[in-house]
Amino acid sequence: MKSEPDAFSIDDLQKVKIEPWDGIRNYQARNFMRDQMRIGDKVFFYHSSCAEPGIVGLMRVHSKPYPDPTAFDSGAKYFDAKSDPENPRWMMVDVKFSRKLKKPILLAELKGYSELQDMKLLQRGNRLSIMPVEEKHWLFIEGLF
């Protein structure tokens, strides 16, 4: 799961411990939260759109999917008039802090490993802010900690 550190960083998560991952307005990203995530699933926290993009920490899924309340708040940045509270368009989960890596694993480093060449994160043009990680890739990256 990606976040711009200026908006919400791994340090912010370490402080608050649990964070509702709201504001996702992309159907594919929503589907991953709504359909694939289970409580306790491990998640990489990735800093994007910054000087040194990369994996900076670990967290876990901490709730079942539920409607994103910011979609119903007409004053909120992520308000969506087309999301009906009776039939919510945007679903999200809460995440819980696990740990911060001593040293981030930067995107530039990840790109260098032949073992990760087919990883979704590294595919050309990928802009998804939430995506699944294959087990083989997860295990390889864990070995880099």
129 near DNA, rule: CB under 7 A: yes
- Tell me how far, at minimum, the Cβ of 40 lies from DNA, in Å: 24
Q: Yes or no: say if 96 and 41 are a contact pair by the CB < 8 Å rule.
A: no
Binding status of residue 124 toward DNA by CB under 7 A: yes
Cβ-count burial 10-34 (b if 16+ within 10 Å, e if not): beebeeeeebbbbbbbeeebbebbb
Would you call 100 helix, strand, or coil by DSSP?
strand
Q: Which amino acid is at 91?
A: M
Please identify which residue in 31, 36, 117, 126 interacts with DNA, judged by CB under 7 A.
126
- Rounded to a whole number of angstroms, the minimum distance from the CB of residue 128 to DNA is 6
Q: What does the alpha-carbon distance between residue 55 and residue 144 come to, in Å, rounded to a whole number?
A: 11
Q: 18, 108, 139, 144: which one contacts DNA (CB under 7 A)?
A: 108
Q: How far is the CB of 115 from DNA (least distance, A)?
A: 18
Question: Which residues bind to DNA, rule: CB under 7 A?
Answer: 2, 4, 25-28, 48-50, 53, 107-108, 111, 124-129
